[in-house]
Amino acid sequence: MNGLGDVSLLKNGKMLLALLVLDWLFAGSTDATTHEPGFTGPIANVTTPLGREAILACTVHNLSTYKSHVISRSRRVGVTHGDHTWFLHIRELRETDRGWYMCQINTDPMKIPPDILDRGTSRDQTVREGASVSLTCAATGSPQPQIIWRREHSKSITLSDGIQVSSLEGPVLNISRVSRQHAGAYLCIASNGVPPTVSKRILLTVEFPPVITIRNQLVGAALGSDLVLECDTEAYPKPVSYWRGGLEPQKFDGAFRSVLRLPIKRVMSSDYGAYKCVSKNALGDTEGTIKLYPMPKPAPESKNVIQRMNIVADTASEITPFGTQDFRLQDYNRAISMDGCGYGFLLSLVILIKITTSRG
């Protein structure tokens, strides 16, 4: 059974249609099946100026244990009632509110799309690392909506036993021993087969004191070389990070990770020593140390060379026991640097050739 009422707006005479359904849901098996509810009379049309409040009245008899429900997602729409009359209030009237409105009685259960309630649903949460947190999601609808939790950007949900899942069903999401990896946005999704599916985004922020990680605590550098010292920091709230001694750093910040860099160009003797990076926030502070020590300049890379050695004998003989008077030595300089006996071997070779030619 339906009752229709028209809302007209006093502006330029334009007409727009809008629809709002006022439903009575069956609450249980009662004597209402014998005396069905009905409308006492038609709903009167209403004309109201823009910006004011329009009130439509719907009078019902034999309502018994039936309940009322307004299908609307507008904060400007509400319902009040007296003994047998129900009033639909539309506040701050707009052009789009113009049109027909329906007061409807349903004696059979009807399907209502899901709606997530602000009351009973968690807001954004901020917790200390190591604590526990519970995120709740309350939803209404007919049939009762199913609640599924997911993380934003398809990230995994890490459970207390370390197991990672893509989604979790239930109105409550419990996380024990929260770590910084739990930080981020969680989606509470409600569905019951009646479109549309609705969701709410809940942001979980995890606070923890600064932690500094140094990949290389000992760094060697030659005089005149260039290098960069690095400290990786993790903290939330965002820390204040710097190098001791008033050195000007380079900072690269992320969500809760940041990199503190210190470039040193053309290293001098006075640059050698210890460098300390410091990170502080409201929960604590910490520091890390990097030691810069001197290193010899790397030897220039030797190139392969070809040397020719002429052997001169006292006699005119062109034949020696070594087969030829010409020797081709490759990478001769490297051979001497790698073998301390190279020079002695060469000297012995010359003496031996001298003795042989003398005997001839």
DSSP string, 120-156: TS---EEEETT--EEEE--EEEESPPEEEEEEGGGPP
Statement: residue 356 has pLDDT above 60: no
- pLDDT single digits (tens) 135-184: 999 999 989 999 999 999 999 999 877 889 999 999 999 999 999 999 99
- pLDDT single digits (tens) 251-306: 777 778 889 999 999 999 999 999 999 999 999 999 999 999 999 887 776 555 44
pLDDT level of residue 217 (50, 70, 90 thresholds) = very high
- What pLDDT is stored for residue 103 in this prediction? 81
Tokens 């549309």 belong to residue: 196
Of 3-12, 18-27, 220-229, 302-311, the range with the lowest mean pLDDT is 18-27
- What pLDDT is stored for residue 195 in this prediction? 86
Same fold, 115-208 and 214-294: yes
What torsion, rounded to 10 degrees, do the Cα atoms 325, 330, 333, 338 define? Answer: -110
CA distances from 276 to 259, 288, 299 (A): 14, 6, 31
Q: Are 135 and 122 in contact (CB under 8 A)?
A: yes
Q: Model-level pTM?
A: 0.54
Of 74-88, 93-107, 135-149, 327-341, the range with the lowest mean pLDDT is 327-341
* Single-letter code of the amino acid located at 224: G
> Which tokens in the block code for residue 96?
């789009």
Domain ranges of the chain: 2-110, 115-208, 214-294, 306-359
- What pLDDT is stored for residue 351 in this prediction? 46
CA atoms of 287 and 75, how far apart (whole Å):
53
* The architecture CATH gives domain 2-110: Sandwich (2.60)
pLDDT level of residue 5 (50, 70, 90 thresholds) = low
* CATH 1.10.1370.30 holds for 115-208: no
> Which tokens in the block code for residue 204?
């979980």
**Fold of the CATH domain 214-294:** Immunoglobulin-like (2.60.40)
CA atoms of 183 and 129, how far apart (whole Å):
10
| Burial annotation 308-332 (CB, 10 A radius, 16+ → b, else e) | eeeeebeeeeeeeeeeeeeeeeeeb
Distance of CA 15 to the CA centre of its chain: 48
